[in-house]
Chain A
Amino acid sequence: AQKITQTQPGMFVQEKEAVTLDCTYDTSDPSYGLFWYKQPSSGEMIFLIYQGSYDQQNATEGRYSLNFQKARKSANLVISASQLGDSAMYFCAMRLRGQGNKLVFGAGTILRVKS
């Protein structure tokens, strides 16, 4: 069965510094996609970054990068130069081949950026 684990319930980071949010996953399927979403207090899930299981390079999107370590089954999100607007809940999610558009989410990590 597929599972996403986010072990950090909450994180603090100083403005302009980098922060890493941890995510480990469990699946026996060799083909999968890993996603990170940001959820502000308004509730909407905002897509940040995607990593495919066969991608050779780590994904990057602006200030977001994904540290993908396939052998360790980890997909950590790195946010560089944190901004006050980055304060939100962050979810790691996985989608598997053969399961349509179903996303399996972790429990999330709440990030607070301090000025």
Chain B
Amino acid sequence: DAGVTQSPTHLIKTRGQQVTLRCSPISGHKSVSWYQQVLGQGPQFIFQYYEKEERGRGNFPDRFSARQFPNYSSELNVNALLLGDSALYLCASSSVHTYTENTEAFFGQGTRLTVV
């Protein structure tokens, strides 16, 4: 089975532009979470979606939005890009939507966004 796939792998955008990142979860996984990892730091939680509904949101501005499609794939949108949005954006999929013991999240390889 394919793992979590993210596209594109790299992209460069200009300040003020908008960007859309895509994620396909592992087959059968209905939960997708998004994380931002700035260079030199640990990942920070942005969103979780389950069954097309938002189930959690981190401390990010409204410029960040996401959605999940009927096939459980997901998009992360960032509007009015700032230099500080430059980061690795990671997508994680899971078979459950809430805390259960020993339910690991499987991560994709990420999208490396550079804002210039």
Interface set of A (CB-CB < 8 Å, partner B): 4, 31, 33, 35, 37, 42-47, 50, 52, 54, 91, 93, 95-108
Contacts and interface: CB of A to CB of B under 8 A. Distances in A.
A100 B56 contact: yes
A95 to B, nearest CB: 6
Contacts of A97: 99
Interface of B: 31, 33, 35, 40-45, 48, 50, 55-56, 58, 88, 90, 92, 94, 96-99, 101-110, 112
22 contacts: A37-B107, A43-B90, A43-B110, A43-B112, A44-B109, A45-B92, A45-B107, A50-B104, A52-B101, A52-B102, A91-B43, A98-B98, A100-B48, A100-B56, A100-B97, A101-B92, A101-B97, A101-B98, A102-B58, A103-B35, A103-B92, A107-B42
Nearest to A108: B42
Given A45-B90, A102-B48, A102-B58, A50 B102 contact: yes
Contacts of B112: 43
Nearest to B94: A101
A96 B100 CA distance: 9
Contacts of B108: 44
Which residue among A37, A98, A102, A107 has the maximum number of chain B CB atoms within 10 Å of its CB? A102
Nearest to B58: A102
Contacts of A54: 101
B56 A33 contact: no
Contact of A101 (B43, B44, B48): B48
Contacts of A45: 43, 90, 92, 107
Contact of B42 (A31, A46, A91, A96): A91
